[in-house]
Chains A and B, each alone.
Chain A
Amino acid sequence: MAEVRLESIARECRVQILRMLAHAGSGHPGGSLSVIDILTTLFFGRLRYDAKRPDWPDRDRVVLSKGHAVPALYAVLAKAGYFPEKSLITLRKLGSPLQGHPDRTMLPGIEAATGSLGQGLSISLGLSLGLKLAGSSARVYCVLGDGETQEGQVWEAAMAAPKLGQPDHALDNLVVILDYNKIQLDNFVKKVLDIEPVTAKWQSFGWPVLEIDGHDIAQITKALDQAEATTGGPTFIVAHTVKGKGVSFMENDPEWHGKAPKPAEAIKAIREVLGITEGAWEEYLKTDSSTRAIVDELAALEKK
């Protein structure tokens, strides 16, 4: 039951991701669609937070280290009540707090400025350690990109995390999730600079490693349960994902790493995400007024 609900939220978030990227005219759909099931499970099945008190000291934290996937984070934050969903179409526009990459000082709910890759894990270590020192039971979830782990700072942090704070303040409040969608900006990760063997690498740095399908809500939930039950240090989850997941023409195509869909493409993508055939689309829209509004808005944008 819980999974059906989360899958439904993830679908709605995918629609919002495609909508906001089309309005922005630039941005990163591939990695946003690969990470959205993970973020949905975290925000609606796991985290303790209060959108009305974004500075609540004991809130759980999510650090989206792969900051270019921030449309996915904006979609879940809006759904969680941090700001209205109508703000999503201000993404990347002058004066909007919805910056092209996350800005913590402009938007409540963002825990760290990221986007310059390789820095989020270090910040997450500091957050985890600080929470432990403060005696808080809050937890920290850091989401890494696969290409991002080519950055050296990631490995400085990877080496430090299992040892940091030992023995009294071990970072068992930290979970790192790798969004392993196998594609980076230039090409497939294994063609640019292969990061394999991923599991063995992190294990050799002292991390317990779990491997899951990052689009299977039940598997994500189970891995988060296992991580929460782990004491004495942080946990690493390798989430195998599909770049552009849910949109046939975006899936597994490096071209869609950093290219926004045109409004007509976004409408087609939204239809696919919702699982509606082309023939049934008009009839479907008569039954779904919120999607109808989004589609009309995109159609108007196409004409501009």
Chain B
Amino acid sequence: MPAKASRAAFGEALLDLGARDERIVTLDADLSKSTMTGNFAKKYPARAFNLGIAESNMIGVGAGLALTGRIPFACSFACFIAGRFETIRISVAYTNANLKIVGTHSGIAIGEDGYSQMGLEDVACIRSLPNIGIIQPADEIETKQAIAYAVEHQGPLYLRLTRQSLEPVCPPDYRFQYGRWLVLRKGHDVTLIGSGGPLFNCLEAAKRLEPDGISAEVINAACIKPLDEELLVQSAGKTGHVVTVEDHTVSGGLGGAVAERLGDLLPTPIKRLGVHGFGESGDQKGLYAKHGLDPAGIAASVKKFLHR
């Protein structure tokens, strides 16, 4: 399977699911070319609505549609979604509206457009809300399954997708399960928990650590909320060291969620890797290297963390 952006896999999944389920509608805020709902709109023009550059209204309209039994996907960049927190808080989460919110262009990996277009705080914001789940798929196969699951899931969801292409990481027979994580690579010295964009780099980092005698377990945390507490505790109990890796601010995202739960369930030394401060313009490779999210950076952080 070639590398594919999760936003592209999302667009393809919607086309397929839309043919089978009349209830699916899409909502966009003038970014349908970027969120990849454009083909759905072409095929099902009566079920695709462009609300213009007005994300708050788009999310509210989506909540209303959901309350009448439609299954709307409200799409924009992750940063513009998070910016409409108050509407998500009341019209979606508190209302428990069956709306699927899709935030593409997550993280510094979008590169050249710079910070204002980077979704870096979306998980931290949305994670604080009851009722709403957060899914961040890591490759094409997982994205398509997550979108299919989202249609079946009763209740609001936030789906965090990438602009950049993602190398396949999940096995061909992979089956997405809500609230469940997957061990992609077994190990016993350290648990690397990744999600979405940087997950492939976690696997690469694990390979680099091998010659140094460090056996890294790599977990795909596609579901950021709810966490897979069982697997988290099991793996942390085994390795005694947890490293989280995410293309998101280092505060309040996947790393924050893992630290909170481990603190409750099994206090374990933890190192959180992510973005510090604001993002900036640049090429994706260079930005990942600068923020230590490339294979070399992740491997170096792990070694330092383990005092090796």
Contact = CB atoms under 8 A, between A and B. Distances in A.
A301 interface: no
B95 A113 contact: yes
Interface stretch (A21-29, A157-165, A178-186): A157-165
A116 B84 CA distance: 13
Given A119-B90, A130-B70, A157 B60 contact: yes
A30 interface: no
A275 interface: no
B68 A126 contact: yes
Interface stretch (B48-56, B185-193, B221-229): B48-56
Interface in A134-160: 134, 136, 152-153, 156-157, 159-160
Contact of B65 (A105, A114, A118, A126): A126
Interface in A160-208: 160, 164-165, 168-169
B95 A126 contact: no
A105 B95 contact: yes
A66 to B, nearest CB: 14
A134 B71 CA distance: 12
A106 B110 CA distance: 41
A127 to B, nearest CB: 4
A125 B60 contact: yes
A133 interface: yes
Given A103-B94, A122-B87, A133 B67 contact: no
Nearest to B57: A156
B182 to A, nearest CB: 33
A131 B57 CA distance: 18
Contacts of B95: 104-105, 112-113, 123
B56 A126 contact: no
Given A105-B96, A169-B46, A156 B56 contact: yes
A133 B52 contact: no
B259 to A, nearest CB: 30
A126 B66 CA distance: 8
A81 interface: no
Contact of A153 (B64, B70, B87, B94): B87
A111 B67 contact: yes
A160 B51 CA distance: 7
A128 interface: yes
B91 A112 contact: yes
**Interface magnitude class on chain A:** 35 or more
A217 interface: no
Nearest to B29: A156
A123 B49 contact: no
Contact of A125 (B46, B64, B90): B64
Contact of B61 (A103, A125, A159): A125
B57 A134 contact: no
Contacts of A35: none
Contacts of A104: 95-96
Q: Which of B51, B52, B61 has the most CB of A within 10 A?
A: B61
Nearest to B70: A130
Nearest to A157: B57
A169 B70 CA distance: 14
Nearest to A111: B67
Given A129-B49, A159-B54, A116 B64 contact: no
Given A105-B96, A111-B67, A129 B61 contact: yes
Contacts of B63: 112, 122-123, 126
Contacts of B111: none
B86 interface: yes
A131 B67 CA distance: 10
A103 B90 CA distance: 10
B109 interface: no
A130 B90 contact: no
Contacts of B67: 111-112, 123, 126-127, 130
Interface string B190-234: 000000000000000000000000000000000000000000000
B59 interface: yes
Contact of B68 (A103, A113, A121, A130): A130
Closest 10 CB pairs of A and B: A126-B64, A122-B60, A130-B68, A156-B57, A156-B54, A126-B61, A123-B64, A126-B65, A127-B64, A153-B56
